[in-house]
């Protein structure tokens, strides 16, 4: 090959690489995030609401059904995918009282101070981070429950991380989660303490389901799978109906859960 041609090709390659560097590093460093507005258009209630609630709120990254009596969401639903959980914007950590619920049932961050419980996210901050706004909305106190510190930091946090990983292997997922209460729940600053927490997951691509109910106590990460069960069992325990807008044929898969398939990330 002529040496002039080789030099021109090399020069073109270097120029192209330099141009790409300038665009990616200086002009448009966050270009991979510009499409994330699309995720804010998702209807996170498209598969149905599991139970009645006093107030329904739709956020960019999740929806919830709020109970005035419990001063907490009874359910939070969100749809996630590999793209939406892989953006990882800078996160805030400022919890705030939600102005979208009445004053008399509005919980403030200081109500949890020195309570012995964590501010446990229902829609996870680390999962819903495709924009600064969507992530900030996860810190609304309507999305927070009184959660045992070791549950929050071990089994519950481990489950949230596993679900994020599933978006890479199981495809787009619908998740519904929330607290469960006893007949006479303990109270902290007049806020009922959940007895358990549930989480159910649906894979659109594989029409597969899995559910969990975890006691609001010291549950270690390694104990997580002891609390896995078919979604139908979660429905029996809670009295809720999950993913009710799916066709009945697809809902039949709620009866069983292939734990080995779910464990294989």
User: CATH number, domain at 137?
Assistant: 3.40.570.10
Quick one: pLDDT band at residue 2, thresholds 50, 70, 90?
low
Residue 79 corresponds to which tokens in the numbers above? 């749809």
Q: Is the pLDDT of residue 26 over 60?
A: no
Give the angle 156-240-186 at the CA atoms, nearest 5°.
55
pLDDT average, residue stretch 67-94: 89
Least confident of 6-20, 142-156, 222-236, 237-251: 6-20
Residue 128 vs residue 7, higher pLDDT: 128
- The fraction of the chain above a pLDDT of 90, given in percent, is 80
Question: Based on the domain organization, do 181 and 259 belong to the same domain?
Answer: yes
Q: Is the pLDDT of residue 29 over 50?
A: no
Quick one: pLDDT band at residue 86, thresholds 50, 70, 90?
confident
* 181 in any annotated domain: yes
Give the per-residue pLDDT at 7: 56
Residue 40 vs residue 140, higher pLDDT: 140
Report how far residue 8's alpha carbon sits from residue 114's, in angstroms, rounded to the nearest whole number. Answer: 69
Question: Based on the domain organization, do 13 and 74 belong to the same domain?
Answer: no
Quick one: pLDDT band at residue 38, thresholds 50, 70, 90?
confident
Q: φ and ψ at 177, to 5 degrees?
A: -145, 160
pLDDT average, residue stretch 41-45: 95
Give the per-residue pLDDT at 224: 97
Q: Which residues contact 129 (CB under 8 A, 6 or more apart)?
A: 85, 87, 88, 89, 91, 135
Question: Based on the domain organization, do 3 and 73 belong to the same domain?
Answer: no
Q: Which residues contact 19 (CB under 8 A, 6 or more apart)?
A: none
Give the per-residue pLDDT at 110: 97
Looking at residue 107, the DSSP 8-state letter turns out to be -
* 37 in any annotated domain: no
Q: Is the pLDDT of residue 161 over 60?
A: yes
Give the per-residue pLDDT at 12: 58
37 sits in which H/E element: none
Give the per-residue pLDDT at 153: 97
Question: Based on the domain organization, do 135 and 14 belong to the same domain?
Answer: no
Average pLDDT, the chain: 89
Task: Tell me if 180 sits within 8 A of 196, measured CB to CB.
Answer: yes
3: buried, middle or exposed (CB in 10 Å: 19+, 13-18, 0-12)?
exposed
* 178 in any annotated domain: yes
How many domains does one find in the chain? Answer: 2
Question: Based on the domain organization, do 69 and 25 belong to the same domain?
Answer: no
Question: Based on the domain organization, do 24 and 46 belong to the same domain?
Answer: no
Q: Is the pLDDT of residue 106 over 80?
A: yes
Task: Tell me if 209 sits within 8 A of 199, measured CB to CB.
Answer: no
Q: Is the pLDDT of residue 120 over 60?
A: yes
* 214 in any annotated domain: yes
Residue 233 corresponds to which tokens in the numbers above? 């069992």
* 9 in any annotated domain: yes
Domain range for 156? 42-263
Torsion sign across C-alpha atoms 212, 215, 221, 225: negative
Report how far residue 178's alpha carbon sits from residue 55's, in angstroms, rounded to the nearest whole number. Answer: 15
* 194 in any annotated domain: yes
């Amino acid at each position: 090959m002529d040496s002039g041609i080789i030099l021109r090709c090399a020069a073109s390659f270097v120029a192209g690489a330099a141009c790409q560097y300038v665009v990616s590093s200086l002009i448009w460093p966050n270009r991979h995030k510009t499409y994330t507005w699309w995720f804010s258009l998702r209807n996170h209630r498209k598969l149905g609401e599991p139970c009645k609630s006093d107030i329904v709120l739709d956020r960019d990254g999740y929806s919830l059904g709020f109970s005035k009596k419990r001063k907490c969401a009874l359910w939070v639903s969100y749809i996630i995918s590999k793209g939406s959980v892989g953006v990882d914007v800078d996160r805030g950590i400022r919890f705030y009282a939600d102005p979208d619920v009445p004053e008399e049932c509005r919980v403030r961050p200081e109500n949890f101070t020195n309570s012995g419980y964590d501010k446990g996210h229902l829609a996870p901050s680390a999962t819903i981070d495709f924009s600064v706004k969507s992530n900030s909305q996860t810190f609304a106190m309507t999305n927070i429950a009184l959660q045992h510190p070791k549950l929050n930091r071990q089994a519950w946090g481990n489950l949230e991380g596993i679900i994020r990983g599933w978006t890479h292997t199981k495809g787009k997922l619908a998740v519904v989660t929330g607290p469960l209460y006893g007949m006479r729940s303990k109270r902290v600053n007049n806020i009922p303490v959940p007895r358990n927490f549930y989480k159910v997951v649906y894979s659109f691509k594989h029409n597969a389901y899995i559910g969990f109910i975890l006691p609001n106590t010291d549950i270690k990460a390694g104990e997580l799978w002891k609390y896995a069960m078919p979604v139908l069992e979660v429905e029996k325990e809670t009295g809720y109906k999950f993913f009710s807008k799916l066709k009945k044929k697809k809902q039949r898969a709620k009866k069983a859960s292939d734990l080995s398939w779910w464990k294989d990330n």
